[in-house]
Chain A
Amino acid sequence: MSAPALLRYRFAARAEALATMRHTLQDALRARAIHETEIARLVLAVDEASSNIIRHAYRDCTPGEIELTVTRARGSLRFRLRDFAPPVDSRCVRPRNLDECRPGGLGINLIDDIMDLWRLRALRRRCGNVLVMFKRLKARSGRGKRDR
């Protein structure tokens, strides 16, 4: 049986909807007594992931919606973002070299740094993609890592 959701929130895949999503997520995490610094980082990671969905996954089609589900299980927070966009090739979603000083492309690096693990997959039979990100609440390791 899956853990009960701390938050289920569906929002329009539009940049203007991000602020309300962030505040909703922030409130849900505050209710779980998570440290403010950690909340700020987690909200940033979810916001970056949502921005990427808006900018890239929905780029060539009418913007649809994004479903955010947050659950807590075995000492970890699990953030699931599901979109209804055409399939994304997850091999193209990689962090970039931060030694290059150039605008853009930082979002994946931030997610990678903040989260312990993340994975992106396109839904084969249905339209859309699912990004799942995990963050341990205790015994944190240093850098994030993609599940390859």
Chain B
Amino acid sequence: MERGIAESRQGDWLVLSVSGEVDLSWSQTLRTAVLKALPGTPALAVRLDQVAYIDSSGIAALVEGFQQARSRNQPFVLLAPSPSVRAVLELARLDRVFQIREQLD
């Protein structure tokens, strides 16, 4: 599966759809995309259903985005995390921290 981040709009939400394996070699790209997207949208969703693998550096990029959004009172959700992403979120006990939704509607 190719790595990539695609942007789309759904109402007020900017959706970043992430695909591929997110590890140390690519997590900085995800971090930059999330932090760059936040100022330009009322709300941000990161779609993770096409993420085949994520490590702690990828999770850290999402945590940083979540914290930035929270400091701006901006909605930030993780959309439809794949089973592998959900497993890591649970291991890190972050499934209780992030707002996780299957869809935006």
| Chain B binder among A16-24, A67-75, A133-141 | A16-24
How many residues of A are counted as interface, with CB atoms below 8 angstroms from the partner's CB atoms? Answer: 27
Question: Mostly helix, strand, loop or mixed at chain B's interface?
Answer: helix
A54 at the B interface (CB under 8 A): yes
CB distance from A120 to the nearest CB of B (A): 17
B104 at the A interface (CB under 8 A): no
**Cβ B57 vs Cβ A51 within 8 A:** yes
Binary contact track A36-63/B, C-beta < 8 Å → 1, others 0: 0100110010011001001100000000
Enumerate A53-99 residues with CB–CB distance to B below 8 Å.
54-55, 98
B60 at the A interface (CB under 8 A): yes
17 further A-B contacts with Cβ under 8 Å, apart from A48-B56, A110-B56, are A14-B25, A15-B25, A18-B25, A37-B87, A40-B84, A44-B91, A48-B55, A51-B23, A51-B56, A51-B57, A55-B24, A101-B94, A102-B67, A107-B56, A109-B92, A110-B91, A113-B91
